[in-house]
Every structure is written in C-alpha cells, then in structure tokens.
C-alpha cells in the first residue's frame, strides 16, 4: 500500500486542487493512504476533513507584507514547523510528498527533501513564488498550469498538466434551461456573471453597485456573487433600484449552472478561477486583485490577455471603466467569439489525471 502526503493550503486556490488530486489518487489506487499537512488556523483545517481526509496542522504563518511584530516570530515558527514536519514524515513514512503551495508546503517539502523522500510540486500560477523556486531544486517533477514556466523551473522537470477543477465545470452542455429556472432568468436577455471568490471582491462589488442603473438601462440580467461581507449592501442597492434583472448571492454552490447561462463573466484572476473560465470557455473580463503575493493575479491575467483570450481592467480603474467595458463586450458578439475560441486553448480538462500519472511514476 502506498502512502502520500499532500501539503499546502491557505486559500481555495490551493485547497481545491489538492482535494481534486487526492480524489483522483483514490480513484486510480483506492488502497492508497493519504494524509494532508496544512497550517493551523487556516481554511484547509476545515475544508479537508469535510472532503473526507485526515489533516495535521503545522504552526507556520507567512511573512506579513506590512510592518508587524508577527514577522519577528517567523524564524521561530519556521523552526518549529520544520520539527513538526520531520516528526510527521518519520511517523507516516510517505512514498511521496506533493506540495500545492501555501504556508505548510514549504517546511513539509523541504524536510521531505532532506529525508530523501521524493517530492512533486503543483504550481497553479503563471508566476512562481520564491518558495516553489527553492523547492524545485530537489523536486522530481513540477506540474504547471501555464506554458513557458522554464524561466522559473528546470525545463526537464516540468509537466504541463493544468490545474485540477471541479468535475461539474467540465459538463456544461444541456444545463442552460435548468440554469435559467434556477436563477430566475429570462432566456433572450444578455446575461452577466460577476464573481469575486468566496469572500467577494470589494472593487468589483463597488463597480457593479455604482453602475446598477447602466446595467438596467441596457436590459442586462446579472448573477452577482458578492461574498458574505457585501451581500446585504448589494441586496439593498438592488431593492432601491426596483429591478428584477439583478440576482444577488453571497455564495453560489452551483457554479456549473452559473457558467452555463453566462454570456460574459467578470472575475478576479486567481489560478483556480482562470482554470475554470478556460474550461467553461467563457468570454471574460479579469480584474486582478492587487492584494496578493508578487502581484501574481496580474501576471495570470496577462498570459490570457496577451493571447487575445480575455480582457483585463486594472483594480484601480475598475470603478470608472469595468461596467462600461462589460456592456461593450456583451453587445460585441464577434469579440466574444474570438475570446471564447482563444480561452478554450488553455483548457486542461484532464489535469488531475495527468498529475496523478506523474505521482505514480515517482512512487
């Protein structure tokens, strides 16, 4: 029986691919024992057990970009997490360690390398962070989601697999009528889907809120996922506008239905969001979050923009230009078709299977 450790987390963009990899391992090799290693007090400590897997937390946190006394504790936390990781590896005795990014992956994979345990890295973004660049020196394979990643990693170790996403995104055909009924939409109106991640995206939300009347004037129906923090504010704004065109949700559990009915999507540019948009094949306008490490969302978005596969509006310009650009795209079917054709070229529907194939070559 093989044993696998999957380490990382911190955000859904790390956790959901990790769970997809674990599920695929179980599908291909049901007897495999899988253990997750995460960071205490991060979302993986709740999400992973809900998916049916055991997880152990390390006492590790990232360096704060602002001046903070927490940064003074970082070296001690790192040393403690390395000790904890070594103990976990000694007791569990994995055949391979998979790193998916996030705080916990660094001490786990570093210690695994020192203990001569094979490692594999799954890099979701188009820009590799310093941790994965360092870990790549000892890794057996690096599974990437974007082309031309040899500027960050040794070329001979790279496998272009894409990012694993939820299986329901792969099957959007024949869901259109069901989606119209679910969201209470009309069939022949232009439909805009606005998503900002599970917590929402404040700039995107404000841009929609301040331009509700422009959307109504153009007879555009909107599925607006606000996140929990902006939900009540958005509901109030829609009520004041006295419109049934705009449907507000704090969270959408049926993203396959939302994608199937959307003509255009407005989204942040996280790795998982982009992977879903590529598979859904939807014309989109990306608004990269400026509040992420090394501005990686802008770099993700530019890969698509440079290939005429998406449009982009900078966060600082969103309130002024986002809704206007979105309306223009909704009424420009030729541009929609071009973006749709080009974004589909980036889709990797078998990402999880391809990553697990590499895992099995190593163990």
267 is in an annotated binding site: no
Q: Which DSSP helix (H) or strand (E) runs through 122?
A: strand 119-123
Q: Which DSSP helix (H) or strand (E) runs through 21?
A: helix 12-28
Q: What Rg do the C-alpha atoms of the chain give, in angstroms? A: 21
d(CA 207, CA 88): 47
125 is in an annotated binding site: yes
d(CA 168, CA 20): 12
d(CA 33, CA 58): 20
SS3 content of the chain, % helix, strand, coil (to 5): 50, 15, 35
178 is in an annotated binding site: no
Beta-strand (E) ranges in 145-298? Answer: 158-160, 191-195, 221-225, 246-249, 264-267, 284-286
Contacts of residue 12, Cβ cutoff 8 Å, sequence gap at least 6: 43, 47, 197, 198, 272
* Nearest Cα residue to 100 out of 18, 3, 188: 18
13 is in an annotated binding site: yes
252 is in an annotated binding site: yes
d(CA 251, CA 225): 6
* Nearest Cα residue to 237 out of 206, 268, 264: 206
* Nearest Cα residue to 122 out of 132, 131, 110: 132
350 is in an annotated binding site: no
101 is in an annotated binding site: no
9 is in an annotated binding site: no
Cβ atoms < 10 Å from Cβ of 306: 10
Could you tell me the two tokens for 350?
Answer: 């078998």
- DSSP three-state, residue 242: coil
CB of 138 within 8 A of CB of 119? Answer: yes
d(CA 283, CA 331): 12
Q: Which residues are annotated as a binding site?
A: 11-13, 125, 166, 198, 252, 297
Q: Which residues are annotated as a binding site for UDP-N-acetyl-alpha-D-glucosamine?
A: 11-13, 125, 166, 198, 252, 297
């Amino acid at each position: 029986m093989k044993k696998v450790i999957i380490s990382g987390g911190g955000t859904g963009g790390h956790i959901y691919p990790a769970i997809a990899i674990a599920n695929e391992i179980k599908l291909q090799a049901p007897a495999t024992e899988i253990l997750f290693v995460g960071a205490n007090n991060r979302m993986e400590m709740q999400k992973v057990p809900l998916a049916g897997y055991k997880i152990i937390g390390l006492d590790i946190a990232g360096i704060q970009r602002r001046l903070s006394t927490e940064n003074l504790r970082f070296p001690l936390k790192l040393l403690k997490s390395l000790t904890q990781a070594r103990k976990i590896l000694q007791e569990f005795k994995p055949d391979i360690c998979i790193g998916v990014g996030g705080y916990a992956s660094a001490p786990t994979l570093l210690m695994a390398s020192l203990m001569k345990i094979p490692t594999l890295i799954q890099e979701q973004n188009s820009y590799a962070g310093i941790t994965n660049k360092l870990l790549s020196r000892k890794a057996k394979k690096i599974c990437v989601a974007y082309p031309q990643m040899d500027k960050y990693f040794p070329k001979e170790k790279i496998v272009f697999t894409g990012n694993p996403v939820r299986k329901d995104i792969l099957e959007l055909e024949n869901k259109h009528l069901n989606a119209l009924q679910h969201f209470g939409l009309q069939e022949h109106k232009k439909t805009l889907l606005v998503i900002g991640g599970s917590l929402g995206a404040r700039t995107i939300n404000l841009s929609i809120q301040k331009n509700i009347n422009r959307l109504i004037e153009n007879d555009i129906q909107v599925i607006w996922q606000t996140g929990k923090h902006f939900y009540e504010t958005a509901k109030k704004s829609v009520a004041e506008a006295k419109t049934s065109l705009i449907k507000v949700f704090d969270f959408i559990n049926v993203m396959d239905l939302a994608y199937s009915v959307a003509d255009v999507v407005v989204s942040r540019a996280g790795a998982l969001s982009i992977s879903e948009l590529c598979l859904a094949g939807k014309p989109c306008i990306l608004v990269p979050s400026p509040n992420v490490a090394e501005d990686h969302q802008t770099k993700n978005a530019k890969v698509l923009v440079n290939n005429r596969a998406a449009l982009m509006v900078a966060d600082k310009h969103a309130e002024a230009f986002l809704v206007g650009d979105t309306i223009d795209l909704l009424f420009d079917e030729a541009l929609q078709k071009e973006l749709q054709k080009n974004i589909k070229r980036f889709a990797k529907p078998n990402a999880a299977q391809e990553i697990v194939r590499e895992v099995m070559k190593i163990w």
